[in-house]
């Protein structure tokens, strides 16, 4: 698997090349679609270790670009992010759940046939095993010493702001649409960790650029009421996600109810 330094996320030429790889793999010539899909997967990979650390109360290095290592798929998307100088990923990076796979490949799909876009439709619901609302993260500074509890959201906000600004410059996708993706992946990983309140708190600490995470209960399960669209349905032979905000509300509710029954 290819790897790259986290600083490459601030390199517009590198970003453009990775988005071009995705477009070629997904057979779309739309920079808007390619950049949005690419960011959905990258934002998920960036956010996932932070949310898991908060839920598990485990140490984690502040997510500055120079402390990250990116693991890339053949199509140029970021599959996993390894945080350097931290014990939080001692067992190796957790499996990425927000995976988008086109239906034309021999890959898994949701039971309704839609591509596996896990934004807003995680495999786990909210139950009694939820992490305590007071969960905290011990942050490792450059020398390993504990740092203030505000360092993680500050560093994450700086990292996200930098990458979003560069993607917007390369693709023309507006910043608010890219920030909405961040809200949904934060919320979705929090639901996956059975601690949606952590997603709400982290989003608020990242700042006002993020819409507030929203959740909906369907069939005894908690799903993310999404603020963003990954645009996967605009790629050839793909469909809208079950939880896509562009579906009519009644249709989306029915599909989520069916998904909850089958899961």
Domains belonging to the chain, first-starting first, are 2-89+137-213 (1.10.510)
The span from the CA of 96 to the CA of 15, in Å, is: 20
Q: Which two tokens stand for residue 253?
A: 């509710």
Nearest to 51 by CA among 191, 211, 214, 177: 191
* pLDDT tens track, the chain, 263 positions: 899 999 999 999 999 999 999 999 999 999 999 999 999 999 999 999 999 999 998 888 889 999 999 999 999 999 999 988 644 443 343 333 332 333 333 222 333 332 334 333 333 332 222 332 333 333 344 444 433 457 899 999 999 999 999 999 999 999 999 999 999 999 999 999 999 999 999 999 999 889 999 999 999 999 999 999 999 999 999 999 999 999 999 999 999 999 999 97
The span from the CA of 182 to the CA of 198, in Å, is: 14
Residue that has been written with the tokens 């702001």 in this structure: 161
Task: Note the pLDDT of residue 113.
Answer: 30
The span from the CA of 172 to the CA of 35, in Å, is: 9
């Amino acid at each position: 698997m290819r790897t790259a330094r986290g600083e490459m996320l601030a390199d517009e030429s590198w970003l453009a090349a990775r988005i071009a790889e995705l477009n070629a793999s997904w057979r779309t010539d739309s920079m808007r679609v390619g950049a949005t899909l690419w960011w959905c997967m990258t934002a998920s990979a960036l956010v996932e270790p932070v949310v898991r650390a908060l839920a598990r109360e485990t140490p984690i290095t502040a997510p500055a670009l120079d402390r990250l290592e990116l693991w890339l798929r053949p199509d140029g998307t970021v599959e996993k992010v390894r945080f350097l100088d931290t014990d939080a990923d001692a067992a190796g990076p957790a499996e990425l759940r927000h995976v988008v796979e086109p239906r034309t490949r021999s890959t898994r799909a949701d039971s309704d046939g839609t591509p596996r876009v896990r934004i807003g439709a995680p495999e786990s619901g909210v139950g009694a095993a939820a992490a305590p609302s007071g969960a905290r993260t011990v942050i490792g500074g450059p020398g390993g010493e504990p740092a203030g509890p505000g360092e993680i959201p500050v560093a994450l906000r700086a990292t996200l702001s930098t990458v979003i600004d560069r993607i917007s410059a390369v693709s023309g996708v507006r910043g608010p649409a890219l920030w909405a993706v961040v809200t949904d992946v934060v919320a979705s990983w929090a639901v996956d960790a059975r601690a949606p309140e952590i997603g709400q708190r982290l989003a608020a600490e990242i700042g006002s650029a993020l819409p507030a995470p929203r959740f909906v209960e369907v069939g005894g399960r908690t799903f993310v009421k999404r603020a963003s669209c990954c645009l996967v349905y605009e790629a050839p032979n793909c469909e809208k996600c079950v939880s896509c905000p562009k579906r009519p509300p009644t249709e989306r509710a029915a599909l989520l109810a069916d998904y909850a029954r089958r899961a």
